[in-house]
Amino acid sequence: MQVGIRFHDLAAGTLEERAAFAHAQGFKCTHIALSKIGPYKMTLPELTPGWAMHVRHVLEGNGLDTAVLGCYLNLGTPDEAALKNTQEVYKAHLRFASILGAAVVGTETGAVNTGYKFEEANRSEAALETFIRNLEPVVRAAEKTGTILAIEPVYKHIVYSPARARRVLDAIASPNLQIIFDPVNLLGMDNYERRDEIFAEAMELLKNEIAIIHIKDFKVENGNLVSIAAGTGEMNYEKIIEFAETYKPYIQATLENTTPDNAVMARQYIENIAKKYH
């Protein structure tokens, strides 16, 4: 397992400064959403081959691979004009990823409203059909560019469960569509006490397509699940790490919701579990 970090959780600074900081903290890869660190917003005019090459040189110069190039836009939106632009931005990210050398372009799975917010309609059959229809041309672009699009099931979004993710994979039927497995993102207040069962289902149903793991922890606070750094909450990562070490050689696992002060601790926590299975 190669443990990395979400780039915008690093200490504030330029691309070059953040990359150096990640290297100094012992990370091997990164999940990078360039629009969150500036100076560019990663719109269509800005996604140039030259920018991709520059980012690649900076990261590789600091011993970092790009595990995930983030593009977290709403493929479930009812706004047709926004959808068309979103699909084009995804395709541009796939081209960018092909030059950057990113393992995957990562995305969540949207909502049926323009605000990208939870509503019960996100869980409807109509929502799932819409998402699959809107996702398909993006995946076909991934096939043409030789890149991988990886969807991340999230409790509040259209693809909210392992079974729902399996349906998307089967409907699209492309080797260029894979999964980001974020265990905590599968949880809500009504199911977190069954988390071991949910994680087991995800690892069974999605075993072949899990390409990246996101790692964080959670606590219950004021009736909500709050995401925090790995090793500081209620998660037990033993079975997930065992799965990764058994079935997913050298898989990239990126930390989320860390701070510059606790990121090394979180990395060591995960790596110490992984050592048991080497």
Task: Report helix, strand or coil for 154.
Answer: coil
3-state secondary structure of 5: strand
Residue 270: name the closest of 70, 18, 3, 17 by CA.
Answer: 3
Which residue positions in the chain have pLDDT lower than 70? Answer: none
Q: Which residue has the tokens 């994680």?
A: 199
SS3 89: helix
pLDDT tens for each residue of 122-177? 999 999 999 999 999 999 999 999 999 999 999 999 999 999 999 999 999 999 99
Residue 42, pLDDT score? 87
CB of 199 closer than 8 Å to CB of 240? yes
How far from chain centre, in Å, is Cα 211?
10
Report d(CA 109, CA 164) in Å as an integer. Answer: 11
**pTM beyond 0.75:** yes
**Residue 274 and residue 263: Cα distance in Å, rounded?**
17
Six-digit token pair at 24? 């100094």
According to the model, what pLDDT value does residue 39 have? 87
Record: fold of 12-212: TIM Barrel (3.20.20)
Q: What is the pLDDT of residue 235?
A: 98
